[in-house]
Amino acid sequence: MGARRTKKMTMRRFGAVRQYRSGRWTASYLDPTGARRRAPQTFETKTDAEVWLSQIEADITRNEWRAPDAGAVNFEEYATKWVGERGVAPLTEELYGRLLRLHILPTFGDLDLDEITPPRVREWRAERLEATGAATTVAKSYRLLKAILETAADDELIRRNPCRIRGAGKEVSLAGQVATVEQVDALADAVGIRWRLMVFLGAYGPLRPEEQAELRRKDVDVDNGTITVRKAAPELTNGTRAEGPTKSDAGKRVVVLPEFLRMDLKRHMDWYAEKGPEGLLFVGEKGARFRRSTFGRKWRKARELVGMPKSFRFYDLRHTGHTLSTRSGATLKDTMVRAGQSSEKAALIYQHSNDERQREVASGLDRMVRAARERAREQSGKAEGGAQVVQDA
């Protein structure tokens, strides 16, 4: 059978229509780059073909037109490139890779970008929730998928982001638990004298674990009671430390410590810190950098001895520090500076917190902790006195 023949093309103000000998119609147009594009299907009537052209013309006028084959880009290739171009911190890059590998690519890896539809996203999320029962992990996975596809929409590879589930990216976390002064002291005692200062700096610094891992002897000023945070060294899942910048520019800071920590700070410097200006502040018993796995075992044992819930993480000591600083009179900006947190909105609203103000905050924290310790000693003394009276009787 010979090739299907068509009648003469009818030119219009935009595009052209042509009728096949079969009676059906086709349409074509010049796209914004000057290339001729044909309709992917034929039309029953000339009017249908012209309506299709009118829709294409409207999209071009509104700058909403995209090449029909623009979304024919493999999702896995695009997502891998997207992660590589973010320039994120090593821990974040590791998290993105894990979420993609375990939760996103098994479903979407073989699809093109324009094949990922809202129904497919909804089905994927429901399946992940049922299979894992980990709502927080699914929320993180959804946020990552949405971010990748939002960039694809910005790149005009897809018309609209198919991730449209309201609230799907929000996670309910147990983070933000607050310990008492007595509980912090008990944890510091239980974790052992080598790591005692690490607990105190986590609560009253409040320093992140990855910031403490990179502290050097030169960063500590015992006389003035300050610690300078310059870098961070988060530990990856393979056990290596990724030395680099702090989480944000605000992470580079001078932390004024409460006066009650001076003795612990001096003792740790004398007994455990490596020698020389570049010597690490925290090292293990064998002289190597402390490992998350090793310290984690000590932390879990200490938490059990103190009677703290299993959900209380070492990182929650920071929230304890935030709360106590606020109770001692610190403003939101004071706590942001102290904890090395950045927020453009807050920076516009709250006044600058200078070194003098940070010393006032540290003094208030010092008074609060000393008062709490004194109350604990008094209560302990009363309890022992009562026990003695009963014994004498």
Q: What is the mean pLDDT of residues 149-156?
A: 91
Q: How many CB atoms lie within 10 A of CB 248?
A: 12
The gap from C-alpha 392 to its chain's centroid, in whole angstroms, comes to: 59
Strand partners, 142: none
Instruction: Specify the CATH architecture of the domain 181-378.
Output: Orthogonal Bundle (1.10)
Give the confidence band of 257 by pLDDT, cuts at 50, 70, 90. very high
Q: What is the pLDDT of residue 140?
A: 95
- 282 pLDDT band, cuts 50/70/90, is very high
Write out the two tokens for 384: 């022992």
Please tell me the predicted confidence (pLDDT) of residue 348. 37
Average pLDDT, the chain: 85
Note the pLDDT of residue 80: 95
Please give the single-letter amino acid code of residue 300: R
Residue 45 has pLDDT above 60, yes or no: yes
User: What's the pLDDT at 151?
Assistant: 95
Residue 6 has pLDDT above 60, yes or no: no
Grade residue 1 by pLDDT with cuts at 50, 70 and 90. very low
Tokens 């946020």 label which residue? 143
Q: What is the mean pLDDT of residues 22-30?
A: 91
For 111-144, how does the pLDDT look when each residue is reduced to its tens digit (9 = 90+)? 999 899 999 999 999 999 999 988 989 999 999 9
Structure tokens of 390?
Answer: 């009963």
- pLDDT value, residue 347: 37
Which conformational region is residue 217 in: left (phi greater than 0), alpha (psi within -120 to 50 degrees), or beta? alpha
Lowest mean pLDDT among 149-153, 167-171, 288-292: 288-292
Q: Residue 365: its pLDDT value, please?
A: 87
Round to whole Å and give the CA distance between 6 and 26.
9
pLDDT digits (tens, 9 = 90+) for 102-116: 999 999 999 999 899
Give the Cα separation of 70 and 33 in Å (integer).
14
Q: What angle do CA 242, 334, 175 make, to 5 degrees?
A: 55
Question: What pLDDT band is residue 9 in, cutting at 50, 70 and 90?
Answer: low
CA distance 310 to 313: 8
Determine the pLDDT at residue 350: 37
- The span from the CA of 56 to the CA of 15, in Å, is 9
Tokens 């897809």 belong to which residue? 158
Most confident of the following: 37-41, 65-69, 103-107: 103-107
pLDDT at 25 over 70: yes
- Beta-sheet pairing, 16-19 with 10-11: antiparallel
pLDDT, residue 346, reads 40
DSSP assignment of 134-151 equals: -HHHHHHHHHHHHHHHHH
Q: How far is 346 from 353, CA to CA, in rounded Å?
A: 12
Q: Residue type at 310?
A: K
User: Is the CB of residue 44 less than 8 Å from the CB of residue 51?
Assistant: no
* Domain formed by 10-61, architecture: 2-Layer Sandwich (3.30)
- 12 close to 50: Cβ distance less than 8 angstroms: yes
pLDDT of residue 287: 82
Q: What percent of the chain has pLDDT over 90?
A: 47
